[in-house]
């Protein structure tokens, strides 16, 4: 039996644009998802298509127990975390000797297969490596971790990542001269954000702009707008949706002493809010229970 855990993630900048090779900046966050894998010749069918695909990819069979405090279908990378933790626990249980780069690569392949379409390597890479990561086309660069004070607000409106990705693709095809420059601008914001990581006021302002651009390409939602406005009114430096949009979660960049106030304002606006920070560990082995 082997138990491994992997973190979720938020996009500070660049979701959707990364699908088109533009830069995106994502950060691994707590909470983590725990997965236990045990060798089993005739296991019950896995409930998750991601888990099923993990065993298919690695050519073994086992039983799986997933323990998660992270909301699913909310833009926090829960399916990537389940995939990365399942692959790592299976790798350990069956002594397959895969390293972390290989785990990240296989996890990305699995996400793409299950999501039947475009999926950037962001969620799976960040969950595997932890910390702060710049994704730019095929390149992934680990950025020195910075301790940003973030509040996550979950609208509790569930969304489908593949549907939202498809929606942007349709818009881009319908109106390329409008949508493509917006995706370029989102990529430029990521690079600007990278330069302002130590300047929370500036960083917050850029997050606000990123949110407006995501709204413009059609991935906003009234519940997200409400939360973003509530967070800013409660003193956030900036706020934006995170992940695929159309529901799911938003993040607010909070002053060190303002996190509780922002959390309260988000709760009062109908969200399930929590304070989080960077998780630098990435996927790791846990003690077996
Ligand atoms: C989903 O967390 C982020 C998207 O950019 C899709 C992807 O990167 O695969 C919408």
Percent of the chain whose pLDDT exceeds 90: 85
* 124 and 38 within one domain: yes
Helices (H) and strands (E) in the chain, counts: 9, 10
Q: Which atom of ligand 1 is nearest to the CA of 244?
A: 10
Q: Which atom of ligand 1 is nearest to the CA of 168?
A: 10
Residues 259-266, mean pLDDT to the nearest whole number: 98
Residues 145-152, mean pLDDT to the nearest whole number: 93
40-44, 181-185, 227-231, 275-279: which range is least confident on average? 40-44
Provide the residue count of the chain.
289
107-121, 140-154, 199-213, 227-241: which range is least confident on average? 107-121
- Would residue 91 count as lying in a domain? yes
- Would residue 287 count as lying in a domain? no
Instruction: State the total domains in the chain.
Output: 2
What local confidence, expressed as pLDDT, does residue 267 receive?
98
* 82 and 211 within one domain: no
Residue 117 pLDDT > 70 = no
- CATH number for the domain harbouring residue 179: 3.30.70.890
CB 72 within 8 A of CB 79: yes
* 181 and 87 within one domain: no
What local confidence, expressed as pLDDT, does residue 26 receive?
98
**Cα 82 from Cα 222, distance rounded (Å):** 29
Residue 75 pLDDT > 90 = no
Is the model more confident about 173 or about 71?
A: 173
* 172 and 40 within one domain: no
* 100 and 176 within one domain: no
Select from 10, 13, 14, 18 the residue to mutate for testing ligand 1; criterion: most ligand atoms less than 8 Å from CB.
18
Taking the centre of ligand 1 as the mean of its atom positions, its distance from the CA of residue 165, in whole angstroms, is 7
For 15, the domain range is 2-144
- Would residue 288 count as lying in a domain? no
Give the predicted TM-score (pTM) of the model: 0.94
Residue 289 pLDDT > 60 = no
34-48, 180-194, 238-252, 270-284: which range is least confident on average? 34-48
Give the position of tokens 């406005």. 229
* 97 and 45 within one domain: yes
What local confidence, expressed as pLDDT, does residue 149 receive?
94
* 232 and 194 within one domain: yes
**Cα 13 from Cα 122, distance rounded (Å):** 12
Q: 243: Cβ below 6 Å to ligand 1?
A: yes
What local confidence, expressed as pLDDT, does residue 109 receive?
95
Query: Is residue 268 exposed (0-12), middle (13-18) or buried (19+ Cβ within 10 Å)?
Result: exposed
Known catalytic residue: 198? Answer: no
What local confidence, expressed as pLDDT, does residue 120 receive?
87
**Cα 224 from Cα 240, distance rounded (Å):** 8
Six-digit token pair at 65? 């127990």
Confidence of residue 70 (pLDDT cuts 50, 70, 90): confident
* 100 and 161 within one domain: no
Domain boundary among 144, 178, 212: 144
**Cα 267 from Cα 76, distance rounded (Å):** 18
Percent of the chain whose pLDDT exceeds 70: 99
Q: 111: Cβ below 6 Å to ligand 1?
A: no
Q: 22: Cβ below 6 Å to ligand 1?
A: no
Minimal-distance CA residue to ligand 1 atom 8 = 120
- Would residue 283 count as lying in a domain? no
Taking the centre of ligand 1 as the mean of its atom positions, its distance from the CA of residue 61, in whole angstroms, is 29
Domain boundary among 102, 118, 144: 144
Distance of CA 129 to the CA centre of its chain: 13
44-48, 182-186, 249-253, 263-267: which range is least confident on average? 44-48
Confidence of residue 252 (pLDDT cuts 50, 70, 90): very high
* 49 and 171 within one domain: no
Tens-place pLDDT, residues 179-198: 999 999 999 999 999 999 99
Domain boundary among 90, 114, 144: 144
- Would residue 281 count as lying in a domain? no
* 170 and 134 within one domain: no
Tens-place pLDDT, residues 173-182: 999 999 999 9
Minimal-distance CA residue to ligand 1 atom 2 = 243
- CATH number for the domain harbouring residue 100: 3.30.230.10
């Amino acid at each position: 039996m082997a138990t491994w855990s992997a973190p979720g993630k938020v996009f500070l900048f660049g979701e959707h644009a990364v699908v088109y090779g533009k830069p995106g900046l994502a950060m691994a966050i707590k909470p983590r998802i725990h997965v236990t894998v045990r060798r089993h010749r005739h296991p019950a069918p896995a409930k998750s298509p991601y888990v099923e695909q993990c065993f298919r990819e690695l050519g073994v069979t086992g039983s799986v127990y997933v323990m998660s405090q992270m909301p699913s279908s909310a833009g926090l990378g829960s399916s990537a975390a389940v995939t990365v933790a399942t692959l790592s626990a299976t790798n350990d249980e069956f002594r397959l000797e895969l390293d972390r780069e290989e785990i990240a690569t296989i996890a990305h392949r699995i996400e793409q297969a299950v999501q039947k379409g475009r999926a950037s390597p962001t969620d799976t890479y960040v969950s595997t490596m932890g910390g702060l990561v710049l994704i730019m086309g095929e390149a992934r660069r680990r950025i020195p971790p910075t301790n940003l004070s973030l509040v996550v607000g979950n609208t509790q409106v569930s969304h489908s990542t593949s549907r939202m990705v498809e929606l942007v693709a349709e818009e881009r095809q319908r109106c390329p001269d409008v949508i493509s420059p917006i995706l370029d601008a989102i990529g430029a914001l990521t690079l600007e954000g990278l330069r302002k990581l130590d300047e929370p006021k500036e960083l917050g302002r850029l997050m606000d702009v990123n949110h407006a651009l995501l709204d413009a390409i059609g991935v906003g939602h009234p519940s997200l707008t409400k939360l973003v406005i509530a967070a800013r009114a409660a003193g956030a430096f900036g706020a934006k949706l995170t992940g695929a949009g159309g529901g799911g979660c938003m993040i607010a960049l909070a002053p060190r002493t303002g996190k509780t106030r922002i959390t309260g304002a988000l709760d009062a606006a109908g969200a399930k809010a929590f304070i989080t920070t960077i998780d630098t560990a990435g996927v790791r082995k846990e003690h077996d229970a």
